[in-house]
Amino acid sequence: MTAPDQDTHWMHRALELARRGIAVTSPNPAVGCVILDRSGQVAGEGWHEYDLVDHAEVAALKAAGCPILLSEVEGPAVCQFAEWVGTDTANRLKGGTAYVTLEPCNHTGRTPPCTQALIAAGLGRVVAATIDPNPNVAGHGMEAMQAAGIEITIGPCEKEARRLNEGFARWSQHQRPFVLMKVAMTLDGRIAPPAGHHQVREPYWITSEEARAAVQPLRWKADAVMVGVDTVLADDPMLTDRSGLRRRRPLQRLILDSALRMPLDCKLVNTAQSDVAVFTVSNNQARIAELRARGVRVEILPADAGRVPLDRVLDQLGSEGILTLLTETGTRLNTALLAGGHVDRVHFFVSPQIMGSDAVPAFKGMPASIPMADVEVERYGNDLGLSSLLKDPWPPTQQP
């Protein structure tokens, strides 16, 4: 294998490891690391899980037999490394290579800097798929390792690595969640039949079972899912993550309800377990008390033309550590979110049917067209999935 091919090969493996951290790292990024010894053989692998504390690089070093303790990485780690230089593990790692999906950190947070652990281990090269998007961190980790004499490379599998942590990139720079808009619609852009053709508070399925099953991984990867009260009144959804996959934090289920019209006997209220929140501009204290008594969090915000202010909602979610917000809203909120520039990525599930102009549109009154580039296309049974990034949350690549 050529050197670039080898970098791609091992970065693909690091990405496989990083994906094990999906839904268990937030509000941290999902990161994977592969460490090769001086002969090019795998010495250790690791990935990050928030509750296990260790970052991917330290987990991989420990798997490789490196005795550097997390609490000793700053300062004493160098002394400890000197004590095990003569060991077989140290000799194997000296001059080895680390492949990591995100630039190693060079600051102290919940853990000491991973850069110091990699330097102390005597590695000769570090390959990162992408820089850290945090403006207070970006590039500094690679600079620190380069100053210590480590050869560094940035860029293999960058697109895949950035896709994995779009939420972290948006949140770390702007303290707001990455907004993924999901819409299930017909070929003519309709999301529900005309009035009178749908039983109220019962779901009306536009797409196939295969397409509906594909929504669950989107919920699994998100920290929160949001609808408007009109969707609650029409469909009475539960909005739960039914993927069956492991997650660290419960999926937050959010409703925008300016006048607090959400029925007290709806599924969201009946299943609330500190995971349902209503954003409103109403000050109806009796209704607020009823919702709170049923375990629903109620957030009162200042009105924006009588509506719940989307900017304030996104700011608050960011302050709560919500990295990715999945929206499954109706006509008005779909339009408001797109027109307001709040949507980062769209995922449309398109059913090959035509409902006609009397049916409910996905969007109405858009002030301007929104072009989509690099559209990803998938097939779910007879339906199509179309995904496109509208706003790239990542800063440009920097080479130190």
Q: In the block, which residue shows the tokens 């294998």?
A: 1
pLDDT at 324 over 60: yes
Q: Which CATH architecture has domain 3-164?
A: 3-Layer(aba) Sandwich (3.40)
Query: In DSSP terms, which residues pair with 157 in a beta bridge?
Result: none
What is the reported pLDDT for 283? 96
- DSSP for residue 225: E
What is the reported pLDDT for 68? 55
Question: d(Cα 254, Cα 225) in Å, to the nearest integer?
Answer: 6
| Interior angle at CA 297, CA 293 and CA 302, nearest 5 | 120
Question: d(Cα 337, Cα 167) in Å, to the nearest integer?
Answer: 17
What is the reported pLDDT for 70? 44
Model confidence at 274, in pLDDT bands (50, 70, 90)? very high
What is the reported pLDDT for 82? 46
Mean pLDDT of 314-318: 98
What is the reported pLDDT for 129? 97
Question: d(Cα 98, Cα 34) in Å, to the nearest integer?
Answer: 6
Percent of the chain with pLDDT over 70: 93
Whole-angstrom CA distances from 322 to 27, 134, 137, 199 are: 7, 16, 20, 34
What is the reported pLDDT for 198? 75
pLDDT at 106 over 80: yes
pLDDT at 346 over 70: yes
Mean pLDDT of 156-177: 97
**Residue 45 near residue 74 (C-beta atoms within 8 A):** no
Of residues 318, 365, 305, the one with CA closest to residue 339: 365
- What is the reported pTM? 0.93
Structure-block tokens of residue 256: 């925008």
Mean pLDDT, rounded, of the chain: 91
What is the reported pLDDT for 78? 46
Mean pLDDT of 308-315: 98
What is the reported pLDDT for 109? 73
* pLDDT one-digit tens code per residue, 46-101: 999 999 889 999 999 999 988 654 444 455 444 355 455 556 776 788 899 999 99
Question: d(Cα 160, Cα 18) in Å, to the nearest integer?
Answer: 11
Question: d(Cα 352, Cα 398) in Å, to the nearest integer?
Answer: 44
Of residues 29, 312, 344, the one with CA closest to residue 178: 344
**Residue 186 near residue 350 (C-beta atoms within 8 A):** yes
What is the reported pLDDT for 65? 86
**Residue 347 near residue 184 (C-beta atoms within 8 A):** no
DSSP H helical segments within the chain, as ranges? 3-19, 56-63, 76-83, 88-93, 114-120, 140-147, 158-164, 166-174, 209-221, 229-235, 267-270, 285-293, 310-319, 331-339
Q: Kindly calculate the radius of gyration of the chain based on its CA atoms and give it in whole angstroms.
A: 24
pLDDT at 285 over 80: yes
Mean pLDDT of 344-371: 95
What is the reported pLDDT for 92? 83
Mean pLDDT of 121-143: 91
Structure-block tokens of residue 54: 């260790």
What is the reported pLDDT for 73? 47
Catalytic residue among 45, 49, 57, 166: 57
Of residues 5, 20, 7, the one with CA closest to residue 247: 20
What is the reported pLDDT for 336? 97
Chain centroid, CA 325 distance in Å? 8
pLDDT at 398 over 80: no
What is the reported pLDDT for 87? 66
More confident residue, 112 or 132: 132
**Residue 192 near residue 294 (C-beta atoms within 8 A):** no
**Residue 254 near residue 230 (C-beta atoms within 8 A):** no
What is the reported pLDDT for 203? 79
Mean pLDDT of 121-129: 95
What is the reported pLDDT for 112? 82
Structure-block tokens of residue 30: 């999902």
pLDDT at 179 over 70: yes
Question: Any idea where the domains of the chain sit in the sequence?
Answer: 3-164, 166-389
Q: Is 57 a catalytic residue?
A: yes
Least confident of 2-6, 298-302, 311-315, 391-395: 2-6
Give the CATH H-level superfamily of domain 166-389.
Dihydrofolate Reductase, subunit A (3.40.430.10)
What is the reported pLDDT for 195? 80
Structure-block tokens of residue 314: 């996104």
Model confidence at 36, in pLDDT bands (50, 70, 90)? very high
- Cis omega (within 30 of 0) on the bond before 4? no
**Residue 279 near residue 254 (C-beta atoms within 8 A):** yes
